[in-house]
Amino acid sequence: MKNERRGPLTGLKIVEFAGIGPAPFCASLLADMGADVIRIDRADQAGNPPDLLTRGRRSVALNLKDPASIEVCLALLERADALIEGFRPGVMERLGLGPDVVLARNPKLAYGRMTGWGQTGPLAQTAGHDINYIALSGALAAIGTQEQPVPPLNLAGDFGGGSLYLGLGLLAAVLHARQTGCGQVIDCSMVEGAASLMGLYYEFHAAGQWGERATNLLDGGAHFYVPYRCADGKWICIGAIEPQFYALLIEKLGLASSVDLAKQNDPAEWPAMKAKLAELIATRTRDEWCRLLEGTDACVAPILDLAEAPLHPHNLARGTFVEIDGQLQPGVAPRFSATPGQAGRKPACVGADSEAVLAEWGIPERAIAQVKVSPRPQR
């Protein structure tokens, strides 16, 4: 029985080489939108439990040091629209799966390469992680307190500057290939993706409108765009940038008679106003403030933890989170009116779909027999 999929990318066939972080998350997003993404896992890991980021894909276990397995990979890639890999530069070439070889077999392929530093440059062969890549982009220096930078989880490099840019690049290359018949390589660097995300702030900096960290409009410097601690130790955040929203906030906080609205955007006023609001917000619980302010144009929201967010009425109404095999997780984003995506099945154990996928993709039985992998016993 064929793998049933739905979404705007239904019919798109992608081969993903197992990795960590941004490449598998990109593959997961594309699978949620209907793409048939086949993950090539290591044969010596066959039978292992699935990785957390492998939702919606099927797993084929192959030994990439075996010429017969490489030939099967090439046969799959001949039938694919796109490839995703996240190895260091040169690894795919050494395996015999580099762009020159693969594009010779399938000239229409979108060959997606995900790295931190990029395929070239002085650091290309150097190990690193999200924090290193966003440091080089300028993003890390702009995020945190006045005392020190604070890494924003691995959202700005791995997922924002990596996964999303790779997905955009792959789909653009697929469209180009369908129009011209010509595939190409997408060199996606997390440094460059994170730098791109920082474009607005580089504009501010060039115009002389960006100061030290945590002294600016959007980085916690402004008293009307910052989190505040409540009486119960929980937090709310305020984002009342526009003057009409700020005026409403001040009115609802009972400060209309003591605050000069004309001085909202005067940075000299921000520290004193922040202290004033912090003292006031600390007098009530988060729920009390939400009853007063949430759902109004004062631009206030509760800061929810990972247990609370799925239970918020707005998220419940929208179905923002879904349950898959008993596990609550984020649903598909974005949403499509005519071709809605579907949160894929739970991650497959390594190699669980090897024979079924190879047969479905039209790989000859003799080739399948040559690379058949038995799951290794689990301890």
**Cα–Cα distance measured from residue 206 to residue 133, given in angstroms and rounded to the nearest whole number:** 22
Catalytically annotated residue among 129, 176, 205, 312? 129
Secondary structure of residue 311 in the 3-state scheme: helix
Radius of gyration over every alpha carbon of the chain, rounded to an integer in angstroms: 25
- Can you give 347-363 as a three-state secondary structure string? CCCCCCCHHHHHHHCCC
User: Is 129 in the active site?
Assistant: yes
Contact by Cβ (8 Å): 287, 281: no
User: Is 205 in the active site?
Assistant: no
Identify any residues that bridge with 226 across adjacent strands, giving them in sequence order: 238
Catalytically annotated residue among 41, 158, 219, 353? 158
- Can you give 57-125 as a three-state secondary structure string? CEEEEECCCCHHHHHHHHHHHHCCCEEEECCCCCHHHHHCCCHHHHHHHCCCCEEEEEECCCCCCCCCC
Place of tokens 């302010």: 293
> 171: closest CA among 79, 33, 77, 53?
33
Contact by Cβ (8 Å): 33, 8: yes
Q: Is 178 exposed, middle or buried (0-12, 13-18, 19+ CB in 10 A)?
A: exposed
**Cα–Cα distance measured from residue 125 to residue 48, given in angstroms and rounded to the nearest whole number:** 29
Give me the DSSP letters along 15-42.
Answer: EEE--STHHHHHHHHHHHTT-EEEEEEE
For residue 330, cis peptide bond before it (omega within 30 degrees of 0): no
Which pair of tokens denotes residue 11?
């019919």
- Please report, as a single letter, which amino acid is at residue 275: A
Phi, psi of 295, deg, nearest 5: 85, 5
C-alpha count within 13 angstroms, C-beta hemisphere, residue 220: 14
Q: Which residues are catalytic?
A: 129, 158
